[in-house]
A = this chain, B = another copy of it.
Amino acid sequence: MTLRVGILGAAGYTGIELIRLIDLHPHLELTYVAARENAGQKLGKVVPSTQGVPGLGDMNLERFESEDAQKIAQELDVVFTALPHAASARLGGALLDAGTQVVDLSADFRLRDLETYEQWYGVHPRPDLISQAVYGLPEIYREELKSAQLIACPGCYPTSAILPLVPLLREKLIEIDSTIIIDAKTGASGAGRKASPVTNFSEASEGMRPYKVAGGHRHTPEMEQELSLAAGKNLKVLFTPQLVPMIRGILTTTYARIKPGVSAEQCREAAMSHLGDTLVTVMPASRLPDTLHVRGSGRAQVAYELDERTGLLLGMCAIDNLARGSSAQAIQALNVSREFCETDGIPRLATFP
């Protein structure tokens, strides 16, 4: 069985990563690519890794408008929307209305609360669709994803915080009255393909810097939503994003107060039981995560260590922000929704080194 697949936003990094993974997938065929600013150009020009690749390099980048939804929906079984927020909901929503399954990589359907969305992102073009979206983190929402027609792919930072923390919260292994600290570090590809001074090689290489600290980053409410759901109670996090000189990778270190008598090993067991080992590795004691060991793959490495002196538990997670943090996880969620093998099209192993 082969699904016809389209991508809106095929010229950005998450779109390009989708192209790479779809090319590895036994049941997906890329038949439609759109990219507003590059419409009319060949894919091989805009995405040079496809130049000269039979069947890909010569594809034409289209300009998709809502009016085209009926027509395009005839030709597509699934569409990935890798667009800026608002545009994603508007254009993806039109295709959804016309019957296409939508896997949305933007922030548009991640937040369940419209008011929170509008506070951080502005007006939502399709609030009517929010309630039907399923949060595309397969380890947490595997059941809900089955037959989901609208999948809301998690943000990269939230993925790296939710994976290590949800098992602890569900099993009530950590205190939730004191703030959970989430100190995260990302590679430069998270900033997207658009050139900016902050990611100019000369100023990014050898530069390490925090940004949008002290509650200023939009991924804060997404983390709080999912962690509160797992805890069964509203909780707060302090999230610190930092930029480091690498292309791909997020390393997240979380700090939480352990409940009396709980060991790091119990945390590992909780993670294994809730996350499985299909695409998550729970590291054994004294082995720690490394972005290098997950790069290019759909794998997440999760680890726990307890500081006995202070009673603080470190939960750590390494992912590839473009793969597990975005496009590979999107395909994993699609696989679950279609009951394909969960790793179809997704490298289980990092490109190492």
Question: Using a CB–CB distance below 8 Å, which chain A residues touch chain B?
Answer: 13, 16-17, 19-20, 23-24, 47-54, 56-57, 179, 181, 183, 185, 187-189, 191, 193, 195-197, 199-211, 213-215, 236, 238, 240, 242, 244-249, 251, 253, 255, 277-278, 280-283, 287-297, 299, 301, 305-312, 314, 316, 318, 347-353
Taken together as a complex, chains A and B put the C-alpha atoms of A5 and B187 apart, in Å, by 36
Please determine whether A203 and B351 come into contact, CB atoms closer than 8 angstroms.
no
Please determine whether A23 and B314 come into contact, CB atoms closer than 8 angstroms.
no
Taken together as a complex, chains A and B put the C-alpha atoms of A71 and B306 apart, in Å, by 47
Given contacts A293-B48, A349-B23, A352-B49, contact A202 B13 (CB under 8 A): yes
CB-based nearest B residue for A21: B349
Please determine whether A214 and B307 come into contact, CB atoms closer than 8 angstroms.
yes
Given contacts A19-B349, A193-B202, contact A242 B253 (CB under 8 A): yes
Given contacts A195-B196, A277-B54, contact A20 B351 (CB under 8 A): yes
Please determine whether A236 and B52 come into contact, CB atoms closer than 8 angstroms.
no
CB-based nearest B residue for A351: B296
Taken together as a complex, chains A and B put the C-alpha atoms of A52 and B188 apart, in Å, by 27
Please determine whether B245 and A251 come into contact, CB atoms closer than 8 angstroms.
no
Copies in the complex: 4
Please determine whether B208 and A52 come into contact, CB atoms closer than 8 angstroms.
no
Q: Looking at the complex, which one of B47, B53, B283 makes contact with A281 (CB distance below 8 Å)?
A: B53
Q: Which residues of B contact A349 (CB under 8 A)?
A: 19-20, 23, 49-50, 53, 56
CB-based nearest B residue for A309: B215
Please determine whether A245 and B244 come into contact, CB atoms closer than 8 angstroms.
yes
User: Which of A17, A211, A238 has the largest count of B CB atoms less than 10 A from its CB?
Assistant: A238
Q: Looking at the complex, which one of B13, B17, B206, B307 makes contact with A292 (CB distance below 8 Å)?
A: B206
Given A49-B299, A181-B312, A193-B197, 9 extra CB contacts under 8 A: A13-B353, A17-B352, A52-B277, A188-B201, A205-B247, A206-B291, A213-B288, A214-B306, A247-B353
Q: Looking at the complex, which one of B23, B214, B245, B306 makes contact with A347 (CB distance below 8 Å)?
A: B23
Please determine whether A208 and B246 come into contact, CB atoms closer than 8 angstroms.
yes
Looking at the assembled complex, report how far the CB atom of A189 sits from the nearest CB atom of chain B, in whole angstroms.
4
CB-based nearest B residue for A215: B307
Taken together as a complex, chains A and B put the C-alpha atoms of A209 and B246 apart, in Å, by 12
Taken together as a complex, chains A and B put the C-alpha atoms of A158 and B191 apart, in Å, by 31
CB-based nearest B residue for A179: B310
Q: Which residues of B contact A238 (CB under 8 A)?
A: 255, 307, 309-310, 312
Given contacts A48-B290, A204-B201, A247-B202, contact A240 B314 (CB under 8 A): yes
Given contacts A207-B290, A208-B246, contact A314 B185 (CB under 8 A): no
Please determine whether B310 and A236 come into contact, CB atoms closer than 8 angstroms.
yes
CB-based nearest B residue for A278: B54
Given contacts A214-B307, A245-B245, A352-B49, contact A318 B23 (CB under 8 A): no
Q: Which residues of B contact A353 (CB under 8 A)?
A: 13, 16, 189, 193, 202-203, 206, 247-248
Looking at the assembled complex, report how far the CB atom of A67 sits from the nearest CB atom of chain B, in whole angstroms.
31
| 5 nearest A-B residue pairs (beta carbon) | A52-B281, A207-B292, A195-B195, A202-B353, A201-B204
Taken together as a complex, chains A and B put the C-alpha atoms of A349 and B21 apart, in Å, by 9
CB-based nearest B residue for A196: B195
Q: Looking at the complex, which one of B54, B210, B277 makes contact with A316 (CB distance below 8 Å)?
A: B210
Given contacts A213-B305, A301-B51, contact A206 B246 (CB under 8 A): yes
